[in-house]
Amino acid sequence: MRRSGSILSGAAARRLPERVPDGSIRRAENQSRTGEAVADVKRVVVLVSGHGSNLQALLDAAAEPASGMAVVLVVADRPGAHGLERARRARVDTAVVRPADHPDRRSFDLALRDLVAAARPDVVCLAGFMRILGPEFVRAFPGRILNTHPSLLPAFRGAHAVREALAYGVKVTGCTVHLVDEEVDHGPVVFQEAVEVRPDDDRDALEERIHEVEHRLLPAAVRALGEGRVVVEGRTVRVLQEAPR
């Protein structure tokens, strides 16, 4: 098996079967835009675990003319993540790093860190990535990792935010896009927007309305961070209209 985190040459990658070994990059075919070719385009690496609707929002935003950003790599922690398929369709390189292929959490973190670092990201975006990232990963990209969370943090941290908001009976929940620090769902808030909880809501209905908001806020935050318009003072974030000169 290929060493975790290794990167294949273009020619070798073209010979790859559908399933590639853990940590290897599957090069997208007929790449139209990788960020290499266009000056000043901000390079975005996206980490996913599942459906990837937020990834799709980022891919769509990046495909807009003059978006100024390109998703250069999508990494999943499991080969079945639908987000990988979305990336392939958008001709973006993909990779899978599975915790099960590593002896402990630290070595998983290091493999992921090295893979992501090799893509030289301006922004690392967690878009439904259901793993807690350790300090080795977080410290490698200081102030450059964004996460989207389906609640108004600090309420309902963790993996079941929508279910817990419904169970608690809150009338308002929402979405938070925040910078990632070494605590879970904790870093400085970049954008936050409320979503009303309706009396007849079930999890799917509420989640869908939260997603609509996330799909707008996450690309805006990625773009602002990439363009240097996110100013952090302690826990307070200001998003500038224009990058400081």
Annotated catalytic, 149?
A: yes
Least distance to ligand GRF, CB of residue 156, Å: 11
Determine the interface stretch with ligand GRF among 2-10, 92-100, 148-156, 187-195 (rule: CB under 6 A): 148-156
Beta-sheet pairing, 123-126 with 145-149: parallel
Cβ proximity to ligand GRF: between 128 and 226 the closer is: 128
Residues 190-220 as b/e (b if ≥16 CB within 10 A, e otherwise) read bbbeebebeeebeeeebbebbbebbbbbbbe
The closest alpha carbon to 214, from 169, 139, 162, belongs to: 162
- Interface with ligand GRF: number of residues (CB under 6 A): 12
Determine the interface stretch with ligand GRF among 24-32, 134-142, 147-155, 163-171 (rule: CB under 6 A): 147-155
Q: Identify residues 37-96 at the interface with ligand GRF (CB under 6 A).
A: 50-54
Q: Identify residues 110-129 at the interface with ligand GRF (CB under 6 A).
A: 127-128
Cβ proximity to ligand GRF: between 22 and 214 the closer is: 214
Told to check if 173 binds ligand GRF by CB under 6 A, we report no
Told to check if 148 binds ligand GRF by CB under 6 A, we report yes
Least distance to ligand GRF, CB of residue 138, Å: 16
Q: Are 162 and 206 in contact (CB under 8 A)?
A: yes
Told to check if 149 binds ligand GRF by CB under 6 A, we report yes
Told to check if 185 binds ligand GRF by CB under 6 A, we report no
Among 23, 150, 187, 226, binds ligand GRF (CB under 6 A): 150
Determine the interface stretch with ligand GRF among 21-29, 33-41, 145-153, 189-197 (rule: CB under 6 A): 145-153
Determine the interface stretch with ligand GRF among 27-35, 92-100, 143-151, 226-234 (rule: CB under 6 A): 143-151
Determine the residue with CB nearest ligand GRF: 128
The binding site for ligand GRF (CB under 6 A) comprises 50-54, 127-128, 148-150, 211, 214
Provide the annotated active-site residues.
149
